[in-house]
Amino acid sequence: MSVHGETDTTVVDELVRPDLLGPAVAEATGDARWSGLSATLLAGGKSNLTFLLTSAAGELVMRRPPSGELLPSAHDMGREARVQRALGSSPVPVPRIVLSDDGELTGSPFYVMERVRGHVIRDRIPDGYADGPGQRAELAFALVDALAALHRVDPRSVGLDGFGRPDGFLARQVRRWNDQWARSRTEAVAPVEELGRRLAGAVPASPRDSIVHGDFRLDNCVMDEHDPGTVRAVLDWEMSTLGDPLTDLALLLFYWQEPGEPGLRLTPAVTALPGFPPRAEIADRYARRSGVELADLPFYEALAHFKCAVITQGIAVRVRAGALAGQEFGELEDEVREIAERGLQRLDAR
């Protein structure tokens, strides 16, 4: 969504600081026209905020954290910029980083990247797009293939050795999200707390280590404007690290809704529409492309539900605090409970 009106424009300018950012982008690009840039809040950005920067020189995109108190290790702009720079020469499509800053310039860390043209598909498919025979399956499999390609990249070959601590990654994930829940909750929610306890007692051995995106889903990718079977860019790398690749697959499956399933308020999905393959086909395609065994997938799916319940709770808290630049998502407490209940069902399927 874009921000309109005098008050909202003031909020955006306070978050972006065009007076400071413009000259810095002009210096980084060697193009003085960026000195007079303007900023607009883009759709999405429920965690970090994403802004479209425009000037006579063209368009770029800026990412920065929300205002207000932040949870530890979240909203890491330096991490996003580093992994995108590293993957620039890999088979994984990522936007080119133009500028990054740790907070000295505007008071908040941020980075600026090229704007990649294409479709970011959220709650609807553009008219006339991916409506031919088999094109929705092509779109789905292109997404899965991009994920498998990421997990095949050797971190050392792109300079990401030391980017994370893969040993014990899965157990730390369970502890981390239990801790995030303790920090974010405003009241006890029995299904969330039960799910956290059960996950802590059922951690499997990881199949292998890889670069992990941390929030891989359709609306974090830019699809080619004309070819639904091509991913032009993978976005939103704030949770990237070295760890267990099946956490990425499970999160993709969490967002991959099938016909008749209840929707999610924060992440409306188009995958329940005719022509999209079911989760089982997505998982099978991933296994064949990546070579990763899926025997413990129900645990990973339950963990994905736990993480998303905690993230939803955190967004609810930030919305109430007014830290998301005026964005509203409705009441989220019931959704937190429902996500956790579905996670318990996945764990029972093991």
* Ordered per-residue pLDDT tens for the chain, 350 residues: 333 444 477 888 999 999 999 999 999 999 999 999 999 998 544 568 899 999 999 999 999 988 754 444 445 788 999 999 999 999 999 999 999 999 999 999 999 999 999 999 988 999 999 999 999 999 999 999 999 999 999 999 999 999 999 999 999 999 999 999 999 988 889 999 999 999 999 999 999 999 999 999 999 999 999 999 999 999 989 889 999 999 999 999 999 999 988 877 777 789 999 999 999 999 999 999 999 999 999 999 999 999 999 989 988 777 666 644 444 445 678 889 999 999 999 999 87
Final residue of a structural domain among 114, 145, 162 = 114
Can you read off the two tokens belonging to residue 100?
Answer: 């990054």
Q: Is 0.85 surpassed by the pTM of this model? A: yes
Indicate if 194 and 101 belong to the same structural domain: no
Query: CA 327 to CA 218: how far, in whole Å?
Result: 21
Q: Do 27 and 158 belong together in one domain?
A: no
Q: Do 329 and 46 meet the contact criterion of CB atoms below 8 Å apart?
A: yes
Within this chain, do residues 229 and 317 fall inside the same structural domain, yes or no? yes
In angstroms, the CA 237 to CA 83 distance is 7
DSSP state of 308: H
Are 15 and 158 contained in the same domain?
no
In a domain, 130, yes or no: no
Q: Which two tokens stand for residue 135?
A: 């094109």
Residue 47 and residue 110 share a domain: yes
CA torsion, ordered 234, 236, 237, 239, to nearest 10 deg: -140
Task: Say if residues 140 and 131 touch (Cβ distance below 8 Å).
Answer: no
Q: Answer whether residue 76 is part of any domain.
A: yes
262 and 180 inside one domain: yes
Alpha-carbon distance values, 255 to 68, 148, 173, 218, 224 (Å): 28, 17, 19, 8, 21
97-101/231-234 β-pairing: unpaired
Cα separation, 14 vs 9, in Å, equals 9
Q: Is residue 51 part of a domain?
A: yes
Q: Are the CB atoms for 95 and 111 separated by under 8 Å?
A: no
Instruction: Confirm if 223 and 230 have CB atoms less than 8 A apart.
Output: yes
Does residue 119 form part of some domain?
Answer: no
Burial class of 316 by CB neighbour count within 10 A (0 to 12, 13 to 18, 19+): buried
Quickly count: other Cβ atoms within 10 Å of residue 224's Cβ: 19
Task: Give the model's pLDDT for residue 43.
Answer: 56
**What domain range is 214 assigned to?**
135-348
Distance CA 251, CA 305 (A): 8
Give the pLDDT score at 330: 52
- Spatial CB neighbours of 14, under 8 Å, sequence gap ≥ 6: none
Interatomic CA distance for residues 134 and 65, integer angstroms:
39
Buried b (16+ CB within 10 A) or exposed e, 33-47: ebbebebbbbebbbb
Q: Which two tokens stand for residue 264?
A: 């999610």
Residue 266 lies in a domain: yes
Residue 75: count of CB within 10 angstroms of its CB: 20
The pLDDT of residue 16 is: 94
Cβ count near 61 (within 10 Å)? 18
In a domain, residue 239? The reply is yes
